[in-house]
A and B are shown apart, each in its own frame.
Chain A
Amino acid sequence: MKEITNKIQEIATRLFNEDQVDVFLAWEQTGEEYRVKPYFARSAADVSNIVFNEYCIHNLSTSLLKFRDGSDRIGLVVKGCDSRGIVRLLEDLQIKRERLYIVGVPCTGMKDPLAAARNQSGFNNKMQTIDIARKCLDCIQPNPVIYDELIGPENPPLLQGERFAKVKEIENMSADERYQYFEDVLSTCIRCYACRQVCVACDCRTCIFDEMKPQWVGRETNVTDNMMYHIVRASHMAGRCIECGECERVCPVNIPLMLINQKLIKDVNDLFGPYEAGMQYVEGAKPALSRYDEKDPDDFL
């Protein structure tokens, strides 16, 4: 990890000295090993603050949305999942490729800084060992799919076993059991919308949940409105979710959001595929549900 940090710092310094970027997105250490946070370096003098360690789990491609209206040239460090996020933003025309200088880091699986922070707090009864984050165990693409520079050799996917095992388990339940399952997990939602905020695929300027006139989704924290929220959120993610798992990671009440997303990934692939969101950047390409094909299934009509 130390070599990767050095390499990133070297690249960032070079980019600033050659005036290729105005801002460089990476991570900064703010305390104990697990206390890392996204960091926006603005000059060569800031570069020494940049670190890369196994807690750099945050998806920096989401932060690109903060720059979509400007003209700043941006350098950023991406892991496999984050790079798929960039493809997503490019496809949605949120940012121009020329403005980006992408430094790819093949990922070996990250540890969750939130889990580590909880461990060191009064919120966990017992100390737990901090292993690879749950979201990384489902990873199928640890290597960046789009980059200008790649640091280190490519890594094999972390996913062990069957990809949609848990989804299939839920599919095999009876309708009543399934309803009960989702009622249980979604009734705990506190509607903080953190899952929406950290999502790179959520790039709408005005979100349906923020609309007041008309108000599409009620704001009460009950099962009806919670389900409405989650169904709308999930279906907006269909064909767009790049499986970075940030939504599930940040959820303060641990709702299994990736399970819902994975179901949609599976369905989009089965019905409109083969399709995997953000796997390669082809100029002008659109996600599966943003284009029409005569072969698209229409049995429901």
Chain B
Amino acid sequence: MKVLDKDKIESFLNRLAEDADVFVPMQRGPQTGFYSWGTYDEDHDDLMLDILNVYIPPKNIMIPPHARMGENSNEPGDRIIFGIRSCDVRAIDLLDEVFLTQENEGRYYKEQRNKTILVASACYYPAPSCFCDSMGANPVEPASADVVIHDVGREGYVWESRSPKGAALTDTIADWLGEKEIIMPQIPHLSRGVDFEGVFARLLDYSDLPLWENYSEPCQTCAVCIYTCPTCNCFDLQAQTWRDQGYNFNCYETCMYRPQSLMKGLSNPRIAARERFRNRFLHKLQFFSERYGQPLCTGCGRCTVLCPAGIDIVKVITEIKEHQQPK
């Protein structure tokens, strides 16, 4: 098995950064996210390859929080997302569905995606908040990763290339990898789970569910769940003007706030918190499933951990499932 020495990880990242922009999970000040290795500052940043998840999801790399329209903000050259977890890899797959399929092709997204190499890190110790295997991701087998690294403790990282892109990357760094026989850790068991089967069908007549009322009550419609979700991808078009100059740009948008559904004539179909709350879950569990055949959730657990009001998507899904069909 090809093994990468743990002690050399920083110089290895330096090596990768020679040919590409490398994004790694870091603690930067009070924030954790994927940041470019080129901006790593020993005094302020901590490399966190052993953390399961970072708050700011990698969607911020694939879709920038704001970008001028008609201008290609993509940096030239390859980019590597290093140490991304299975749930977030799956999130990128779902973004691909949105931006690359069904004749809705995002030009800049496509360009960005084609030159992105995913070096995923297998999760052998998932957290109690994780439920990715219920949402179609396998914690140790990130489906569309180009390279998978397995943290095997003191022995280092087992390096496994999974795609032509990954093989090409492996060739360029072959002299960094040693050859060792390693007994792989056991496949983990996730303590949390939820059965999505039947939820989609149940939601086809969604409007009567009492849970929208019950669950939206504590919700402050604060949008922490949206901004930290690796799959939420709504964006808004805005203009920045100054005298006779200006430009249009797109930025993240959230269904938790009223302006998203504001229409001409100031009419707004989602004025109450309940309707906005319902829309978020329907988009994830029903509208998206209808269009792409899978739910827009990867079980990363960010929203369940960060929700200030303690709302839990697993409980919402379970409740929808258990709700009796009216006769």
Contacts and interface: CB of A to CB of B under 8 A. Distances in A.
Nearest to A218: B240
B193 to A, nearest CB: 14
B224 interface: yes
A125 B50 contact: yes
B222 A198 contact: yes
A198 B220 contact: yes
Given A197-B223, A219-B238, A221-B65, A212 B53 contact: no
A273 interface: no
Interface string B222-239: 111011100000001011
- Chain B: interface size category: 35 or more
A263 B210 CA distance: 44
Binding site of A, secondary structure by majority: helix, strand, loop or mixed? Answer: loop
B73 to A, nearest CB: 12
Contacts of A114: 305-306, 308
Given A219-B238, A221-B251, A193 B257 contact: yes
Contacts of A246: 308
B222 A250 contact: yes
A192 B301 contact: no
B222 A122 contact: no
B263 to A, nearest CB: 12
A212 B29 contact: no
B238 A123 contact: no
Given A122-B51, A198-B222, 17 more contacts: A63-B218, A114-B306, A117-B304, A121-B301, A121-B305, A123-B302, A124-B51, A191-B65, A192-B223, A197-B221, A210-B257, A212-B259, A219-B66, A249-B308, A252-B228, A253-B31, A254-B31
Interface of A: 30-31, 35-40, 58, 62-63, 66, 113-114, 117-118, 120-125, 184-185, 188, 190-194, 197-198, 210, 212, 215, 218-222, 246, 249-250, 252-255
Interface of B: 28-32, 48, 50-56, 65-66, 85, 126-130, 217-218, 220-224, 226-228, 236, 238-240, 249, 251-252, 254, 256-259, 262, 273, 301-302, 304-306, 308-312, 315
